[in-house]
Protein backbone atom coordinates (compact mmCIF):
# COMPACT_ATOMS: atom_id res chain seq x y z
CA UNK A 1 0.00 0.00 0.00
CA UNK A 2 3.05 2.28 -0.05
CA UNK A 3 3.73 4.41 -3.13
CA UNK A 4 6.84 3.88 -5.23
CA UNK A 5 8.43 7.05 -6.62
CA UNK A 6 11.11 6.95 -9.31
CA UNK A 7 12.80 9.71 -11.28
CA UNK A 8 14.86 10.38 -14.38
CA UNK A 9 17.18 13.39 -14.53
CA UNK A 10 15.99 16.15 -16.87
CA UNK A 11 18.60 18.77 -16.04
CA UNK A 12 19.79 18.90 -19.64
CA UNK A 13 16.65 20.73 -20.77
CA UNK A 14 15.11 21.85 -17.48
CA UNK A 15 16.10 23.98 -14.52
CA UNK A 16 15.88 21.22 -11.91
CA UNK A 17 16.33 23.68 -9.02
CA UNK A 18 13.36 25.84 -9.94
CA UNK A 19 10.65 23.74 -8.18
CA UNK A 20 8.34 24.64 -11.06
CA UNK A 21 5.73 21.95 -10.31
CA UNK A 22 3.16 23.29 -7.88
CA UNK A 23 0.35 21.71 -5.89
CA UNK A 24 -2.03 23.03 -8.53
CA UNK A 25 -0.22 21.12 -11.26
CA UNK A 26 -0.47 17.90 -9.26
CA UNK A 27 -4.20 18.18 -8.65
CA UNK A 28 -4.82 19.25 -12.24
CA UNK A 29 -3.04 16.11 -13.47
CA UNK A 30 -5.04 13.90 -11.11
CA UNK A 31 -8.34 15.56 -12.02
CA UNK A 32 -7.73 15.22 -15.77
CA UNK A 33 -6.61 11.57 -15.64
CA UNK A 34 -8.81 9.22 -17.68
CA UNK A 35 -8.91 5.71 -19.04
CA UNK A 36 -8.27 6.75 -22.63
CA UNK A 37 -5.06 6.08 -24.59
CA UNK A 38 -2.11 7.74 -22.83
CA UNK A 39 -0.23 10.58 -24.45
CA UNK A 40 3.34 9.86 -25.54
CA UNK A 41 6.50 11.85 -26.10
CA UNK A 42 7.26 15.09 -24.25
CA UNK A 43 4.28 15.03 -21.90
CA UNK A 44 4.16 14.95 -18.10
CA UNK A 45 7.36 13.53 -16.68
CA UNK A 46 8.57 13.03 -20.26
CA UNK A 47 8.76 16.77 -20.98
CA UNK A 48 12.50 17.04 -20.34
CA UNK A 49 13.55 13.59 -21.52
CA UNK A 50 16.29 12.97 -24.11
CA UNK A 51 17.35 9.58 -25.47
CA UNK A 52 20.07 8.83 -28.00
CA UNK A 53 20.45 12.64 -28.11
CA UNK A 54 17.01 13.01 -29.70
CA UNK A 55 13.93 14.36 -27.92
CA UNK A 56 12.16 11.51 -26.19
CA UNK A 57 9.74 11.05 -23.30
CA UNK A 58 6.86 8.74 -22.41
CA UNK A 59 6.13 5.62 -24.46
CA UNK A 60 3.71 2.72 -24.14
CA UNK A 61 3.13 -0.64 -25.76
CA UNK A 62 1.37 -3.92 -25.00
CA UNK A 63 1.08 -7.53 -26.09
CA UNK A 64 -1.77 -10.04 -25.76
CA UNK A 65 -0.65 -13.63 -25.30
CA UNK A 66 -3.11 -16.47 -24.86
CA UNK A 67 -5.52 -15.19 -22.18
CA UNK A 68 -3.25 -12.51 -20.71
CA UNK A 69 -2.07 -8.98 -21.48
CA UNK A 70 1.34 -7.45 -20.81
CA UNK A 71 1.50 -3.64 -20.86
CA UNK A 72 4.63 -1.50 -20.63
CA UNK A 73 5.08 2.20 -19.89
CA UNK A 74 8.51 3.82 -20.13
CA UNK A 75 10.00 7.18 -19.32
CA UNK A 76 13.07 7.11 -21.55
CA UNK A 77 16.08 9.36 -21.01
CA UNK A 78 19.31 7.59 -21.99
CA UNK A 79 21.84 6.69 -24.66
CA UNK A 80 24.41 8.16 -27.05
CA UNK A 81 23.50 8.80 -30.68
CA UNK A 82 25.80 6.19 -32.23
CA UNK A 83 24.23 3.46 -30.10
CA UNK A 84 20.68 3.80 -31.44
CA UNK A 85 19.25 0.72 -33.13
CA UNK A 86 15.76 0.45 -34.60
CA UNK A 87 14.83 -3.14 -35.37
CA UNK A 88 18.52 -3.91 -35.71
CA UNK A 89 19.23 -1.01 -38.10
CA UNK A 90 22.08 1.27 -36.89
CA UNK A 91 19.97 4.40 -37.22
CA UNK A 92 22.13 6.45 -34.86
CA UNK A 93 25.20 5.98 -37.04
CA UNK A 94 23.23 6.97 -40.15
CA UNK A 95 21.63 10.08 -38.62
CA UNK A 96 24.74 11.57 -37.05
CA UNK A 97 23.64 15.20 -37.42
CA UNK A 98 20.83 16.96 -35.55
CA UNK A 99 22.71 16.65 -32.30
CA UNK A 100 21.66 18.83 -29.33
CA UNK A 101 22.73 22.40 -29.94
CA UNK A 102 21.96 25.99 -28.98
CA UNK A 103 19.03 27.79 -30.57
CA UNK A 104 21.04 30.99 -30.31
CA UNK A 105 24.68 31.58 -29.40
CA UNK A 106 25.69 32.40 -25.84
CA UNK A 107 28.55 34.59 -24.74
CA UNK A 108 31.72 32.77 -23.75
CA UNK A 109 31.13 32.84 -20.00
CA UNK A 110 27.61 31.43 -20.29
CA UNK A 111 28.64 28.82 -22.86
CA UNK A 112 31.06 27.31 -20.34
CA UNK A 113 28.11 26.55 -18.06
CA UNK A 114 25.78 25.32 -20.78
CA UNK A 115 24.42 21.76 -20.41
CA UNK A 116 26.12 21.02 -23.74
CA UNK A 117 29.47 21.32 -21.95
CA UNK A 118 28.61 18.85 -19.19
CA UNK A 119 26.28 16.29 -20.74
CA UNK A 120 25.78 13.04 -18.88
CA UNK A 121 23.60 10.03 -19.55
CA UNK A 122 20.15 9.95 -18.00
CA UNK A 123 17.97 7.04 -16.95
CA UNK A 124 14.93 4.99 -17.86
CA UNK A 125 11.91 3.85 -15.90
CA UNK A 126 10.08 0.77 -17.17
CA UNK A 127 6.76 -0.25 -15.61
CA UNK A 128 5.42 -3.67 -16.64
CA UNK A 129 1.80 -4.50 -15.80
CA UNK A 130 0.04 -7.78 -16.46
CA UNK A 131 -3.17 -9.54 -15.51
CA UNK A 132 -1.39 -12.89 -15.49
CA UNK A 133 -1.38 -14.49 -12.00
CA UNK A 134 2.23 -14.37 -10.90
CA UNK A 135 4.13 -14.74 -7.65
CA UNK A 136 6.49 -11.97 -6.46
CA UNK A 137 9.52 -14.02 -7.52
CA UNK A 138 8.02 -14.43 -10.99
CA UNK A 139 7.32 -10.72 -11.27
CA UNK A 140 10.96 -10.10 -10.38
CA UNK A 141 11.93 -12.31 -13.35
CA UNK A 142 9.49 -10.43 -15.61
CA UNK A 143 11.01 -7.07 -14.60
CA UNK A 144 14.49 -8.30 -15.51
CA UNK A 145 13.32 -9.09 -19.07
CA UNK A 146 12.75 -5.38 -19.65
CA UNK A 147 16.54 -5.18 -20.02
CA UNK A 148 16.27 -7.33 -23.16
CA UNK A 149 14.00 -4.80 -24.85
CA UNK A 150 16.21 -1.97 -23.66
CA UNK A 151 19.30 -3.61 -25.13
CA UNK A 152 17.59 -4.10 -28.49
CA UNK A 153 17.43 -0.31 -28.89
CA UNK A 154 21.20 -0.11 -28.43
CA UNK A 155 21.45 0.81 -24.75
CA UNK A 156 24.57 -0.30 -22.89
CA UNK A 157 23.33 1.03 -19.51
CA UNK A 158 25.94 3.75 -19.04
CA UNK A 159 27.62 4.28 -15.69
CA UNK A 160 25.61 7.44 -14.97
CA UNK A 161 22.29 5.91 -16.06
CA UNK A 162 19.79 4.70 -13.48
CA UNK A 163 17.77 1.91 -15.09
CA UNK A 164 14.67 1.23 -12.98
CA UNK A 165 12.26 -1.65 -13.61
CA UNK A 166 9.04 -2.51 -11.79
CA UNK A 167 6.54 -5.28 -12.59
CA UNK A 168 3.18 -5.96 -11.01
CA UNK A 169 0.12 -8.15 -11.54
CA UNK A 170 -3.49 -7.07 -11.30
CA UNK A 171 -4.68 -10.64 -10.70
CA UNK A 172 -6.69 -11.07 -7.49
CA UNK A 173 -7.13 -14.25 -5.43
CA UNK A 174 -10.40 -16.12 -5.13
CA UNK A 175 -12.04 -16.47 -1.74
CA UNK A 176 -13.59 -19.66 -0.39
CA UNK A 177 -16.68 -19.99 1.80
CA UNK A 178 -14.59 -19.46 4.95
CA UNK A 179 -13.06 -16.26 3.60
CA UNK A 180 -9.65 -17.79 2.88
CA UNK A 181 -7.74 -16.45 -0.10
CA UNK A 182 -7.01 -19.05 -2.78
CA UNK A 183 -3.97 -18.15 -4.85
CA UNK A 184 -2.88 -19.60 -8.17
CA UNK A 185 0.10 -18.80 -10.36
CA UNK A 186 1.38 -19.68 -13.81
CA UNK A 187 4.08 -22.38 -13.61
CA UNK A 188 7.62 -21.22 -14.34
CA UNK A 189 7.74 -23.59 -17.30
CA UNK A 190 4.99 -21.55 -19.00
CA UNK A 191 6.55 -18.09 -18.57
CA UNK A 192 8.53 -17.82 -21.82
CA UNK A 193 5.64 -16.13 -23.70
CA UNK A 194 5.44 -13.53 -20.90
CA UNK A 195 9.19 -12.96 -21.10
CA UNK A 196 8.98 -12.40 -24.85
CA UNK A 197 5.98 -10.09 -24.52
CA UNK A 198 7.84 -8.01 -21.94
CA UNK A 199 10.94 -7.67 -24.11
CA UNK A 200 8.95 -6.86 -27.25
CA UNK A 201 6.68 -4.31 -25.56
CA UNK A 202 9.60 -2.61 -23.80
CA UNK A 203 11.48 -2.18 -27.08
CA UNK A 204 8.41 -0.80 -28.83
CA UNK A 205 7.51 1.53 -25.96
CA UNK A 206 10.99 3.09 -26.12
CA UNK A 207 10.74 3.55 -29.89
CA UNK A 208 7.26 5.04 -29.49
CA UNK A 209 8.63 7.52 -26.95
CA UNK A 210 11.38 8.44 -29.40
CA UNK A 211 9.14 8.82 -32.45
CA UNK A 212 6.63 10.89 -30.46
CA UNK A 213 9.33 13.36 -29.38
CA UNK A 214 9.24 16.82 -30.92
CA UNK A 215 12.06 19.37 -31.19
CA UNK A 216 12.22 21.21 -27.86
CA UNK A 217 14.09 24.29 -26.65
CA UNK A 218 14.89 24.25 -22.94
CA UNK A 219 16.86 26.35 -20.51
CA UNK A 220 19.84 28.37 -21.72
CA UNK A 221 18.53 28.02 -25.30
CA UNK A 222 19.49 24.34 -25.44
CA UNK A 223 17.69 22.65 -28.34
CA UNK A 224 17.07 18.92 -28.68
CA UNK A 225 15.78 17.77 -32.05
CA UNK A 226 13.02 15.27 -32.66
CA UNK A 227 14.07 12.27 -34.74
CA UNK A 228 13.34 12.98 -38.44
CA UNK A 229 10.53 10.59 -39.37
CA UNK A 230 11.08 10.51 -43.13
CA UNK A 231 14.78 9.76 -42.80
CA UNK A 232 14.03 7.06 -40.24
CA UNK A 233 11.47 5.40 -42.52
CA UNK A 234 13.87 5.58 -45.45
CA UNK A 235 16.59 3.79 -43.47
CA UNK A 236 14.18 1.07 -42.40
CA UNK A 237 12.90 0.58 -45.94
CA UNK A 238 16.46 0.33 -47.29
CA UNK A 239 17.14 -2.45 -44.78
CA UNK A 240 14.19 -4.45 -46.14
Catalytic annotation, residues:
123, 161, 163
How far is the C-alpha of 204 from the C-alpha of 163, rounded, in Å? 17
Beta pairing, strands 216-217 & 181-182: unpaired
Q: How far apart are CA 211 and CA 34, in angstroms?
A: 23
User: Is the CA virtual torsion 101, 104, 108, 112 positive or negative?
Assistant: negative
Q: What angle do CA 109, 114, 117 make, to 5 degrees?
A: 105
39, 58 contact by CB (below 8 A):
yes
Q: What crossing angle do the helices spanning 192-211 and 136-144 adopt, rounded to 10°?
A: 50
Q: How far is CA 114 from CA 15, 50, 54, 108, 149, in A?
A: 12, 16, 18, 10, 33
- DSSP-derived letter for residue 35 is S
**Are the beta carbons of 122 and 9 closer than 8 angstroms?**
yes
Tell me how far apart the alpha carbons of residues 56 and 40 are, in angstroms, rounded to a whole number. 9
For residues 168 and 133, give the distance between their C-alpha atoms in angstroms, rounded to a whole number. Answer: 10
Amino acid sequence: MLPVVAETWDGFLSNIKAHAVTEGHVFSALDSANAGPPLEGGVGGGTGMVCFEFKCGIGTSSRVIENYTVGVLVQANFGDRDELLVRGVPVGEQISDLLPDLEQPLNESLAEHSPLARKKDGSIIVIVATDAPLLPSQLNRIAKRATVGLARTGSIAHNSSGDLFLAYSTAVPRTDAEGNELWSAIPNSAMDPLFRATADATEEAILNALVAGRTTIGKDYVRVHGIPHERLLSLLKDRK
